[in-house]
Chains A and B, each alone.
Chain A
Amino acid sequence: MTRTTDYDIEAADLVARSLRAVARDTDVAERPGEALPVAGLPAPIPLGAQRHRRTRRTVAATAAAAAVLLAALVWAGRNPSNPSDPTTTGDTGPADQGSEELPPELVPGNTGSMATEPGAVYSSPARYFAQARILEPPAGGRILTAVVNWPDGQPADRAVLSNIVQTLTVVVGGDKDRAQITATVGGSAGYLTLPLDDVDESVVLEVHNALVSDGVGVAEYGADDGWASLPADISWVPGVSPTVARHYSDGDVATVDLSSVAADIGPATAMVALLPDARPYPVGGGMGWQAPVPDGQTLFVWQAAPGTVGLVVASEAALADVGAMIESIPAPDPALGEHPNARLAGRSDEGSDVLWAVELADYLPSDGPPAVDERPCVSLWVDGQVVGPTCGVEVPPPSAVVPFSVFGPVAHVDGDATVVFGLLSPAVTTVTIDPIYGVELSVDTQPVDPADPDGLRYVVMIVHGGRDVPQIFRFRAGNRELSTTEIDLNVVGG
């Protein structure tokens, strides 16, 4: 039975009947000589090992060059804010890990669009400051908006905006032919609006006009009409921050584009807003994501080192090979005292009604004496907002009477759900809330640092309803109850 929900029932019925009629009339008889497409049977499959071998060679070659690219990025990051700095396009000798020199194949001044020929290199030494936002019309679809500022008050350039749009469509999708770009005349700001899904052209144009008119105030666009607005981060997108990239092909269909970008990948919720189908793909202990992107390609983006993002777009290549290649890339040495090295500790399940993510950030040692702020920090993100950055957390001993250092409601979402967050003793394996409206909620705790399963643990509980009376939370170690606490779910952060 076809579920028609709020569709145009007459049109839906016509479509359904038409499709059934076509299906009924489709000739499904097997052709003489047609055989099962399985190797070893009469008609071997055309997708054979040959393509796979070529892919492996491509990936191996990519891996060999990856360290050079990442090293080059360390170099490119030396002068990140001045695209006209002549040293950033200088012709220099070969580079190796940690070198300050560009590899010889880098074409000086090549700041055009992403390379498309095998072996071609793309480099962009400039850093643009982009403030991005995803707007979602109530009818569905997503529109990416960004205000892009040129460094040092340099005049905005439409060609650069156009290149950024083109790269965005490669790594996050969208229709570049329907994108809108505006560079202010004589000013240092540019504006881009890119529909990521199927959205009316007139709507895109209206949003773009609002963007040019209001700048980052476009975040409020349509708020009264049910539009949603999510923060996004495009600083890791090639061409927005200093980038070197190289294109590889097996000469057939498999391609791998490897980039390194002088940036940090955004917080989990900002990444998920941009790549809603992304799933965590940590690399070498750094935070990373894997996501399907347009044209059947797959994107891998990961924090290769503090201040350096690795990025691969693979097409028709065996993902296992690509993954092995990524894992084999040595991370460049981080600079001291610069960036927090954010790692994803956990996130909401696919299809969850409340999106959340827990991040762990280690601050690198600085020259000064150790301080609380340099201890690990744990952040909870709920629906695009950080609701609980907590640094310098002491781990409660297993025997502690109060088996948590942080516990309680941190956010109300959609009027009904309460997000409860806790940082707990290693002894706590489960947190249970007594039945609300007959439904008991029990959530297993997880280690904050997967590399330290015996250390601090966290729990995120989504509690629906139950704000009418204080609720009893029970902390358990296996089947043994350690303690209980009574909490008023109405009081967020209380």
Chain B
Amino acid sequence: MTDPPESVEEGYRRLRPGMVRLAHLLTGSPELAEDVVHDAFASCARRWSTLDQPEAYVRRAVVNQAHRAGRQAGRDRDKVARLGRTLPLSAGEPELDETWALLRVLPERQRMALVLRFYEDLSEAEIARLLECRPGTVKSLIHRGLAKVRKDVLR
């Protein structure tokens, strides 16, 4: 007998922690991350029962909502204030704090490309689909982001 399909509530409970982490990395803001995940699930909920791969669908919605939230944050000109609330990492490695501080101020698409590549471990082609650009653009974004890390942190 096959298991009954996962309800949207079960999916929400299961996927929410990971998606909040991802949204935090994508937006650079833990507060914004909660809103992003909320809106992402809201956009998926009505068609939940029709989704073959809910996790992939929610991930795409999180990326889209994070992109939208980032634009809105830029418009509201509170980005600087938001970025000011940087919490130190508990890893005890100062270069990790320094790297995260740098990642938060990178251009949005550069940061998103780095997060999707090195946190989500997606291929350039997969990232290109999520960011709606060409794989060559993703490669360029990642190279530029890493070059910035090399220049400003590793020096």
Chain A interfacial positions (CB closer than 8 Å to B): 1-3, 7-8, 10-12, 14-28, 30-31, 36-39, 41, 45-47, 136, 139-142, 197-199, 276-277, 292, 295-296, 351
Tell me which of B22, B89, B146, B147 contacts A21 (CB under 8 A).
B89
Name A13's closest neighbour in chain B (CB-CB): B118
- Residue contact A139 to B143, C-beta cutoff 8 Å: yes
Please, how many angstroms separate the alpha-carbon atoms of A23 and B134 in the complex?
Answer: 27
B residues contacting the other copy or chain, number (CB 8 A):
64
Question: Whole-angstrom distance between the alpha carbons of A386 and B100 in the complex?
Answer: 49
Option from A10, A14, A20, A28 in Cβ contact (under 8 Å) with B17: A28
A47 near B118 with CB under 8 A, answer no
Classify the secondary structure of A's interface with B: loop
Does B62 belong to the interface (CB within 8 Å)? no
Q: A25 with B136: in contact, given A8-B146, A15-B145, A36-B9 (CB under 8 Å)?
A: no
Q: How far is the CB of A228 from chain B (nearest CB, A)?
A: 9
A2 CB contacts on chain B under 8 angstroms: 117-118, 121
CA of A47 to CA of B96, assembled, Å: 37
Q: How far is the CA of A20 from the CA of B67 in the complex (A)?
A: 21
Within 8 A of A (CB), among B1-53: 8-9, 12, 16-17, 20-22, 24-25, 30, 33-34, 38-39, 41-43, 45-46
Q: Is the CB of A15 within 8 A of B149?
A: yes
Quick one: which of B30, B33, B38, B132 contacts A37, CB cutoff 8 A? Answer: B38
Q: Which of A14, A19, A31, A142 is within 8 Å of B95, CB to CB?
A: A14
Residue contact A141 to B140, C-beta cutoff 8 Å: yes
CA distance A415 to B142 in the complex (A): 29
In this complex, which of A39, A46, A141 has the most chain B Cβ atoms within 10 angstroms of its Cβ?
A: A141
Q: A11-B154, A26-B21 are in contact. Are A3 and B119 (CB under 8 A)?
A: no
Name the prevailing secondary structure of the B interface residues.
helix
Q: Can you pick out 18 interface pairs between chain A and chain B where the beta carbons lie within 8 Å of each other? A: A8-B149, A11-B154, A15-B99, A16-B118, A20-B119, A21-B90, A21-B93, A26-B30, A28-B21, A31-B34, A36-B8, A36-B45, A37-B12, A37-B38, A47-B39, A140-B140, A276-B134, A277-B133
Q: Is the CB of A47 within 8 A of B16?
A: no
**Set A26, A41, A140, A295: member contacting B137, Cβ < 8 A:** A140
- Which A residues are CB-close (under 8 A) to B89? 18, 21-22, 25
CB distance from B54 to the nearest CB of A (A): 13
* Chain B residues, Cβ within 8 Å of A23: 21-22, 24-25, 119
Closest to A41 in B: B9
A2–B117 CA distance with the chains assembled, in angstroms: 8
Query: B83 near A: Cβ within 8 Å?
Result: no
Chain B residues closer than 8 Å to A3, beta-carbon distance: 121, 123
Nearest CB of A to B148, in Å: 9
Is A46 within 8 A of B118, CB to CB? no
Known A11-B149, A18-B96, A277-B133: A45·B42 in contact at CB below 8 Å: yes
| Cβ contacts under 8 Å, B16 to chain A | 28, 30
Q: Which residues of A contact B42 (CB under 8 A)?
A: 37-38, 45-47
Please determine whether A351 and B38 come into contact, CB atoms closer than 8 angstroms.
no
Of the candidates B38, B91, B100, B118, the one whose C-beta lies within 8 Å of that of A12 is: B118
Assembled-state Cα–Cα distance A467/B151 (Å): 48
Q: In whole angstroms, what is the CA distance A17 to B114 when docked?
A: 12
B68 at interface, CB cutoff 8 A? yes
Known interface pairs A15-B99, A36-B8, A46-B42; A136-B20 also in contact (CB < 8 Å): no
For B41, B42, B91, B109, which residue has the most chain A Cβ atoms within 10 angstroms? B42
Q: In chain B, what residue has the closest Cβ to A30?
A: B16
The answer for the CA separation of A123 and B133 in the assembled complex, in Å, is 31
Known A-B contacts A11-B154, A39-B45; the reply to A25 vs B87 at CB < 8 A is yes
Shortest CB-to-CB span from B44 to chain A, Å, is: 9
For the complex with contacts A14-B149, A17-B96, 20 further pairs of A-B residues with Cβ separation under 8 Å are A2-B118, A2-B121, A11-B150, A14-B99, A15-B145, A16-B119, A18-B96, A19-B100, A21-B100, A23-B24, A23-B25, A25-B87, A39-B45, A46-B42, A197-B133, A197-B134, A198-B107, A295-B71, A296-B67, A296-B68
Which A residues are in CB contact (< 8 Å) with B115? 19
Which residue from chain A places its CB closest to the CB of B91 in the assembled complex? A21
B137 touches A141 (CB 8 A): yes
B125 at the interface (CB under 8 A from A): yes
Assembly CA distance A199 to B144 (angstroms):
9
CB atoms of A15 and B146 under 8 A apart? yes
Given contacts A18-B96, A197-B137, A1 and B107 within 8 Å (CB-CB): no
A24 to B121, CA, bound (A): 16
Q: Smallest distance from the beta carbon of B36 to chain A beta carbons, Å?
A: 11
Find out whether the CB atom of B121 lies under 8 angstroms from the CB atom of A26.
Answer: no
Report how far A39 CA is from B123 CA in the complex, Å.
35
Q: Which of A19, A38, A136, A140 has the most CB of B within 10 A?
A: A19
Smallest CB separation, A351 vs chain B (Å): 7
Closest approach, in angstroms, between the C-beta of A17 and any C-beta of chain B? 6
The answer on a CB contact under 8 Å between A198 and B110 is yes
Tell me whether B121 and A1 are in contact (CB under 8 A): yes
CB B95 to nearest CB in A, in angstroms, measures: 6
Docked complex Cα distance between A28 and B110 (Å): 25
Q: List chain A residues, Cβ under 8 A from B142.
A: 7
User: Which one of B43, B64, B93, B154 contacts A10 once the chains associate, using CB atoms below 8 Å?
Assistant: B154
